[in-house]
Amino acid sequence: MAEILDRIGELGIVPVVAIESIEHVTGLARALLAGGLPCVEITFRTPTALAAIRRIADEYPELLVGAGTVLSLDQVGQATEAGARFVVAPGFNPKVVDWCVERSVPITPGVVTPSEIDMALDRGLHILKFFPAEALGGVSLLKAISAPYRDVKFIPTGGINASNLADYLRLPTVHACGGSWMVNKALISAGRFQEIRKLVEQAVQIVHSVRKPE
C-alpha cells in the first residue's frame, strides 16, 4: 500500500479521467507515458470505466492505474478485480474504506472536515483526498484544516489546473494533486492525444519546478 502511494507522491499529479469509449484507451495511455506521467485515475463516471481499467492493467502494466469516484462495495470489488492498483473516493464511506484497509488496497477517501480526517486516522490512513478543493476554499482552507494534522498529507482535487497547481504543490501537507485539465473528456473524445501529451508534459514541468531535486 505504502509503495503505491509513495509513487503517487513522487509523481505529484494524478490525471483524473472520465473516458467514454474503450477505443480511446490506447491513445490516452500512450500520451500519458510519452508525457512523463505514468499514472491515471479512471473514474466511475462513465459506463466504460471498468473496461478501461482492465485494458490499461492488461496492456500497459507500466502505467499505474487506479479507480476513482468509487461509491460502493460493488464498485471497489469490480475495480480491484479488473486491475486497479489504488482506489479514490469522493467522500468517506466507511464500508468502502474498511474493505480496502482489510485487504491492503491503497485508498484515498475524500475528506472535508476534521471529523472525517479523524475517522481516517482511526483506520491508519494518512494520505487523504481533499475534494472539491477550489470550491471549498482552495489553498487557504487546506492550510487551515491541515494545521492540526502534522502527520496527514492531502491530495487536493477539483478545480486544479496549470495556473494553480504550483500553489497547491508548495504546501508541505500536499502529497500530490488530482486534475483533469490535461486529460479532459472533450480532448479524449476528439482523439487529440498529441495535445494531451503536451499538456501532460507542461504539468510535469510544473511539478519539477516546485519540487526540485535535492
Q: Which residues are designated catalytic?
A: 41, 129
Q: Which residues contact 88 (CB under 8 A, 6 or more apart)?
A: 14, 41, 66, 67, 68, 69, 70, 107, 108, 109, 110, 129, 155, 178
Examine the pLDDT at 158 and tell me if it is beyond 60.
yes
Predicted confidence band of residue 212 (pLDDT cuts 50, 70, 90): confident
Examine the pLDDT at 166 and tell me if it is beyond 70.
yes
Grid cell locating 16:
483524473
> pLDDT tens-digit profile of 82-140?
999 999 999 999 999 999 999 999 999 999 999 999 999 999 999 999 999 999 999 99
Examine the pLDDT at 165 and tell me if it is beyond 60.
yes
Percent of the chain residues topping a pLDDT of 90: 98
Predicted confidence band of residue 213 (pLDDT cuts 50, 70, 90): low
Q: Which residues contact 124 (CB under 8 A, 6 or more apart)?
A: 101
Higher pLDDT, 212 or 66: 66
Cis bond before residue 132 (omega within 30° of 0)? yes
Q: How many helices (H) and strands (E) does the chain have?
A: 11, 9
Q: What is the pLDDT of residue 83?
A: 98
- What's the rounded Cα separation, in Å, for the pair 211 and 168? 12
Q: What is the pLDDT of residue 180?
A: 97
Predicted confidence band of residue 2 (pLDDT cuts 50, 70, 90): confident
Greatest alpha-carbon span in the chain = 46
Q: Which domains does the chain have, with CATH numbers?
A: 2-204 (3.20.20.70)
Examine the pLDDT at 33 and tell me if it is beyond 80.
yes
Q: What is the pLDDT of residue 179?
A: 97
- What's the rounded Cα separation, in Å, for the pair 214 and 178? 24
